[in-house]
Amino acid sequence: MREGRFRIGVVAPGSRIEPALGEKVTRLAETLYPDRPPDIFFHPQCSRSWGHFAGDDETRARAFLDVANDESFDALWFARGGYGSCRLAERVLPALTAAARQKAYLGYSDAGALLAGMHKEGFGGLAHGPMPSDVRYEGGDAAVKRALRFLVERAPDSLEGTVSPATTTAAFNITILSHLIGTPLQPDLAGHILMLEEVGEQMYRIDRALFHITGNAGIRSVAGIKLGRCSGIPPNEPDFGQTEEDVTRHWCGISGIPYLGRADIGHDANNKVVPFGRWRPA
Amino acid sequence: MREGRFRIGVVAPGSRIEPALGEKVTRLAETLYPDRPPDIFFHPQCSRSWGHFAGDDETRARAFLDVANDESFDALWFARGGYGSCRLAERVLPALTAAARQKAYLGYSDAGALLAGMHKEGFGGLAHGPMPSDVRYEGGDAAVKRALRFLVERAPDSLEGTVSPATTTAAFNITILSHLIGTPLQPDLAGHILMLEEVGEQMYRIDRALFHITGNAGIRSVAGIKLGRCSGIPPNEPDFGQTEEDVTRHWCGISGIPYLGRADIGHDANNKVVPFGRWRPA
Q: Is the pLDDT of residue B105 over 90?
A: yes
At B1, the pLDDT band (50, 70, 90 cuts) reads very low
Tell me, rounded to whole angstroms, the distance of Cα A82 from its chain centroid. 12
pLDDT at B282 (0 to 100): 82
Does the pTM exceed 0.90? yes
Decide if A52 and B240 are in contact by the 8 Å CB cutoff.
yes
pLDDT at B2 (0 to 100): 46
**Mean pLDDT in chain A?**
97
Distance CA A100, CA A74 (A): 10
**Mean pLDDT in chain B?**
97
Amino acid identity of B172? F
Residue of B nearest to A176 (CA): B208
Percent of the residues in chain A that have a pLDDT greater than 90, as a whole number: 97
Summarize the confidence of residues A260-269 as an average pLDDT. 98
pLDDT at A3 (0 to 100): 57
Decide if A203 and B240 are in contact by the 8 Å CB cutoff.
no
pLDDT at B3 (0 to 100): 57
Q: With beta carbons under 8 A apart, name residues in chain B contacting A86.
A: 208, 211-212
Residue of B nearest to A87 (CA): B211
Decide if B52 and A216 are in contact by the 8 Å CB cutoff.
no
Q: With beta carbons under 8 A apart, name residues in chain A contacting B203.
A: 52
Residue of A nearest to B218 (CA): A182
Decide if B52 and A203 are in contact by the 8 Å CB cutoff.
yes
What are residue A150's phi and psi, to 5 degrees?
-65, -50
Residue of B nearest to A212 (CA): B179
Summarize the confidence of residues A215-238 as an average pLDDT. 97
- Segment A50-99, tens digit of pLDDT: 999 999 999 999 999 999 999 999 999 999 999 999 999 999 999 999 99
At A45, the pLDDT band (50, 70, 90 cuts) reads very high
Q: Is the pLDDT of residue B276 over 60?
A: yes
- Segment B176-216, tens digit of pLDDT: 999 999 999 999 999 999 999 999 999 999 999 999 999 99
- Segment B224-256, tens digit of pLDDT: 999 999 999 999 889 999 999 999 999 999 999
Query: Closest to B204 (Cβ–Cβ): which among A83, A185, A211?
Result: A83
Rounded to the nearest angstrom, the minimum Cα separation between A93 and chain B is 15
- Beginning with the edge strand found earlier in the chain, give each strand of the sheet holding A104-107 in spatial order: A39-42, A7-11, A75-78, A104-107, A126-128, A274-275
Distance CA B26, CA B20 (A): 10
Q: With beta carbons under 8 A apart, name residues in chain B contacting A180.
A: 212
Distance CA A213, CA A209 (A): 6
Decide if B51 and A242 are in contact by the 8 Å CB cutoff.
yes
Q: What is the ipTM of this complex?
A: 0.97
Decide if B181 and A185 are in contact by the 8 Å CB cutoff.
no
Beta strands in chain B (DSSP E): 7-11, 39-42, 75-78, 104-107, 126-128, 168-173, 193-199, 224-231, 259-262, 274-275, 277-278
Q: Is the pLDDT of residue A282 over 90?
A: no
pLDDT at A1 (0 to 100): 42
Q: With beta carbons under 8 A apart, name residues in chain B contacting A215.
A: 182-185
Q: Is the pLDDT of residue A129 over 70?
A: yes
Residues of B with a Cβ under 8 Å from any A Cβ are 49-52, 83, 86-87, 90, 178-186, 203-204, 207-209, 211-212, 215-216, 218, 236, 238-242, 254
- Segment B133-182, tens digit of pLDDT: 999 999 999 999 999 999 999 999 999 999 999 999 999 999 999 999 99
pLDDT at B32 (0 to 100): 98
Q: Is the pLDDT of residue B280 over 70?
A: yes
Query: Closest to B52 (Cβ–Cβ): which among A183, A212, A240?
Result: A240
Rounded to the nearest angstrom, the minimum Cα separation between B139 and chain A is 25
Residue of B nearest to A180 (CA): B212
Q: With beta carbons under 8 A apart, name residues in chain A contacting B204.
A: 52, 83
